[in-house]
Amino acid sequence: MRRRPAQSSGIFRGLSRTALLILLLSHRCHAALNVADGFNITATEVHVGQGTWNPAWTLLVNYSPALQPVVNVSIGGQWLQLVFDASSAYAVVFMKEFATCQPPSLPSCYSYKEAEKHGGFHVCSENNDPKVICDTRPNDRWSCTSFLSNVVNTTPHTDVLMIDGLEYRQRGIEGLDTMMMELSGPTRHIFSWSAVPVRLLTDNLTAVTPGPMNLSLNLFEGVDGILGGSGPTLSCRNTTLWHLLLQRLNATRGWGGFAIAAMGPLCFGNY
């Protein structure tokens, strides 16, 4: 997944030389793989020495019905399945009240009314200030220190996301909410943060140019949003959930970057 080409020079800036990501096969992957008839895929393995990968912390990655990698994140007191996108920065949620989950009846879909009950949800006042636009200029970070009273009277803004060569239009509003992620390390541990930037979609994600077989319409089926795995440089916000996670795991201090990926529901972590 990539952002639009004009901004692609910044891809992975947020992760470079910081996150050490290890992707490991787990047993839950096989059901999702669908090998076409007529040819066989062969797998080969090469012994490269003693020892095993031994990450200090591991985050489970599963796969959505459309084979998108998803991670389990709690936002506003609701556990959500978010597609992990290494090259964007926003934590994006589809909203139950605006019917922007696919399908709209998706049971786990984020509800801002639930989030309000939970107490940590705020809508940034910048949304309704036409002089402040949400883009990636370095000195234009939304501070989000004052809030609007509700979602309904908030003006959404549009942004574009490039995914698998398809350009998507996102329309939504910027807010803050409490977030949690569970990692396994020395023990299973739930990390939590308050006042983390979140983008709430008020319209369905739409592909600007629909791809073959309407892939664009199906890519986000059964998931609750997108977790950008980049730092704040690719956003208008002053931090990102992924950046806060790396900081909490001490991954932002002097670690070399490295990643390998494997097909199937995965684990990734750092050490």
**Which residues contribute to the site for ligand NAG (CB under 6 A)?**
39-40, 72, 79, 98-100, 102-104, 143-145, 182, 203-204, 213-214, 238-239, 249-250
Instruction: Closer to ligand NAG by CB, 39 or 52: give it.
Output: 39
212 preceded by a cis bond (ω within 30 of 0) = no
DSSP string, 114-156: HHHHHT--EEEGGGG-TT------TT--B---SEES-STTPPP
Report the DSSP beta bridge partners of residue 171: 158
Least Cα distance to 256 among 15, 11, 23, 58 occurs for 15
Angle at 181 between CA 178 and CA 183, to 5 degrees: 155
Between 2 and 26, name the residue whose CB sits nearer to ligand NAG: 26
Least Å distance, CB 5 to ligand NAG, is: 25
CB of 51 to ligand NAG, least distance (A): 21
| Choice between 162 and 245, CB closer to ligand NAG | 245
User: Any bridge partners for residue 78, and if so which?
Assistant: 75
Find the shortest distance in angstroms from Cβ 183 to ligand NAG: 9
User: In sequence order, which residues have a C-beta less than 8 Å from that of residue 32 and are 6 or more positions away?
Assistant: 63, 67, 264, 265
CB of 222 to ligand NAG, least distance (A): 11
**Positive or negative CA dihedral for 179, 184, 188, 189?**
negative
Residues 6+ apart with CB under 8 A from 18: 246, 251, 252, 255, 257
Nearer to ligand NAG, 2 or 193 (CB): 193
Please, which residue, 7 or 108, has the CB nearer to ligand NAG? 108
Residue recorded with tokens 């989950």: 101
Q: Which one, 7 or 204, has the nearer CB to ligand NAG?
A: 204
Q: How far is the CB of 187 from ligand NAG (least distance, A)?
A: 11
Measured from the CB atom, the residue of 123 and 249 that comes closer to ligand NAG is 249
Strands 157-163 and 166-184 turn out to be antiparallel
∠ CA 143-116-242, nearest 5°, is 50
Q: Which two tokens stand for residue 165?
A: 């060569």
To ligand NAG, the closest distance from the beta carbon of 61 in angstroms equals 11
> Taking the complex as a whole, how short is the minimal distance between the CB of residue 160 and ligand NAG, in angstroms?
18
